[in-house]
Amino acid sequence: MTAGAGPDVALLHGWGMHGGLFKDLAAGLEPDFRVHVLDLPGHGRSAFGKGDQDLEGIARRVAEHIPERCSLLGWSLGGLVAARIARLFPARVPRLVLVASSPRFLKGRDWPHGGEEKTLTALAAGLKRDWRGTINDFLGLQVRGDEHQLETLRALKSTVFANGEPGLQALAAGLEVLRTTDLRPELALIRARTLVIGGAYDRLAAPGAIEALAAGIPGARAVIVPRAAHAPFLSHPAAFLGLVTEFLSSP
């Protein structure tokens, strides 16, 4: 979906979701920008192809469907995709907004900001038994700790399947991307002017991960939204829209 007028910006959603989740954010940006709302491969109305099994393939596929010069806003898994596109095609991405996205989602010896592998293992196992229930469980993780937890969870659940059901292959591939990706070695190669936004109570992309992500990208700035969790564009829409509009509009 494309609407609005002005500089191009594309919105990339997270795992198990679709672009329709950005309906209100897109409407807020449309007076100043030409907004492109995409479904990642295998999500929403987008088909899943043989080359969409890993982050590189997903990023190159998405890059085929955005304008030649286009700023990117990526949330969670979409943030990993956006960052990889910005690294692969630096001349095409002038600005980058990474939302609740960690350069490495799993904890490691040199990375205390990630989650436990057993969480993603349980989600992967759950897909085979009850994929709808597994996605709903994941939505619960996303809002935990948010001051508007119940309202945000209702917003997520009311739209999660509105544009069609995600494919099991895409869901499994997305979890594998979250489990295996470590963007830290390539962050210094990103040339886009970058804003990194996180929630103070996010359990999936902790504030430490947000700050480390911004520190790794030359010139990037980190903003932590108070009392927000993993979906600040839903839980704190006015503050979020203000941050993004100011960043995308600034000289």
Residues 195-245 pLDDT 10s: 999 999 998 899 999 999 999 999 999 999 999 999 999 999 999 999 999
Active site residue 76: yes
pLDDT score for 143: 87
Give the pLDDT of residue 4: 87
* pLDDT of 110: 93
DSSP 3-state percent helix, strand, coil across the chain (nearest 5): 45, 15, 35
Q: For residue 230, indicate whether it is catalytic.
A: yes
* DSSP bridge pairs for 11: 37, 73
Q: How many CB atoms lie within 10 A of CB 169?
A: 15
Residues of the chain with pLDDT under 70: none
Q: Which of 8, 43, 202, 235 is catalytic?
A: 202
Residue 189 is given by DSSP the state G
pLDDT of residue 196: 98
Domain extents for the chain? 2-249
- Res 130: pLDDT: 83
Contacts with 108 (C-beta within 8 Å, 6 or more apart), sequence order:
114
Q: Which of 96, 92, 99, 20 is nearest to 60 (CA)?
A: 92
Query: Domain 2-249 belongs to what architecture?
Result: 3-Layer(aba) Sandwich (3.40)
pLDDT of 75 reads 97
Secondary structure element (H or E) that encloses residue 137, with its range: helix 117-143
Residue of 18, 148, 230, 236 with catalytic role = 230
Q: Which of 76, 101, 102, 235 is catalytic?
A: 76
Q: In sequence order, which residues have a C-beta less than 8 Å from that of residue 159 and are 6 or more positions away?
A: 17, 18, 20, 21, 23
Q: Is 202 a catalytic residue?
A: yes
